[in-house]
Amino acid sequence: MTCVVITGASRGIGRATALLAAERGWSVLVNFRSDEAAAEETASLVRKRGGRPLIWRADVTREDDVRAMFDAAAAEFGPVSAAVVNAGIVAPASTLADMDIARLRRVFDVNVLGSYLCAREAARRIPLSRGGPGGAIVIVSSMAARLGSPFEYVDYAGAKAALDTLTVGLAKELAADGVRVNAVRPGLINTEIHASGGRPDRAQEMGAGSPIGRAGETSEVAEAIIWLLSANASYVTGTIMDIAGGR
């Protein structure tokens, strides 16, 4: 039985991944930081798909929270065999010249340190040599890592580039230890993250100008994440998959 920890699963891409995981019969830890009602909604949708969710509040930037989250998943479901390192934030659109230190710290804290802490916890528990069941990790990067996000979020773009590098290195560390590590780079996906950047319609507006002519849906990203986690991707590791409509 696959037991998957999904960070930032109260809405957006994390929620869609939780629902698809439940459809596959996997046990799902639904992590959130602040919006418990949204996490409850995810859990209710997971149950409707026959899944057994565990809702867990944890701030991925806090080492103790991350450890307790993986402990909780193992206590509820048995050994964790999969992790989706998904929680991430943007800050309001700005040029680098106008970003203050508090914003830069927060963006790097959540997106880089938070993701590294979650990937580290997975790397301490899933590998065969550590008594784990073996499995897979998927890290949620962004097309921003390749495009740079000028005039909007060069901080976020650089943070996501760090996750691409983490994916390549960690995949090599764990490849012979029963753990595959891959990443997805979503493009413009319809979620609430754009509102937090000050432009709720950003995905629809900019998606219309992408080669495929529209924004992506969370389910389209979730399909790739679940495939990368699944045994169908058994020879795939160290890969970073663009899910961006040709952008």
Q: Site residues (CB under 6 A) for ligand NAP?
A: 7-14, 31-35, 59-61, 86-89, 110, 114, 140, 142, 186, 188-189, 191-193, 203
C-alpha to C-alpha distance for 9 and 19, rounded to whole angstroms = 10
Among candidate residues 116, 153, 156, 235, the one labeled active-site is 156
153 is catalytic: no
The four Cα atoms 3, 24, 6, 160 give a dihedral, to 10 degrees, of 120
Q: Which of 86, 237 has the CB closer to ligand NAP?
A: 86
Computed from CA positions of residues 39, 187, 24, 127, in that sequence, does the dihedral angle turn out positive or negative? Answer: negative
Q: Which of 85, 123 has the CB closer to ligand NAP?
A: 85
Q: Which of 84, 127 has the CB closer to ligand NAP?
A: 84
C-alpha to C-alpha distance for 105 and 155, rounded to whole angstroms = 9
Strand partners, 57: 32
Smallest distance, Å, CB 156 to ligand NAP?
Answer: 7
Q: Which of 125, 146 has the CB closer to ligand NAP?
A: 146
Strands (E), 81-159: 82-85, 135-140
What Å distances lie between residue 4 and 23, 82, 123, 150, CA to CA?
A: 13, 4, 13, 35
DSSP collapsed to 3 states, 160-209: HHHHHHHHHHHHHHHHHHCEEEEEEEECCECCCHHHHCCCCCHHHHHHCC
Q: Which of 195, 111, 129, 138 is nearest to 21 (CA)?
A: 138
Q: Which residues contact 122 (CB under 8 A, 6 or more apart)?
A: 5, 70, 80, 83, 85, 137, 179
Smallest distance, Å, CB 204 to ligand NAP?
Answer: 11
Smallest distance, Å, CB 31 to ligand NAP?
Answer: 6
Smallest distance, Å, CB 131 to ligand NAP?
Answer: 27
Smallest distance, Å, CB 134 to ligand NAP?
Answer: 25
Q: Which of 88, 245 has the CB closer to ligand NAP?
A: 88
Fill in the amino acid letter for 62. R
Active site residues: 156
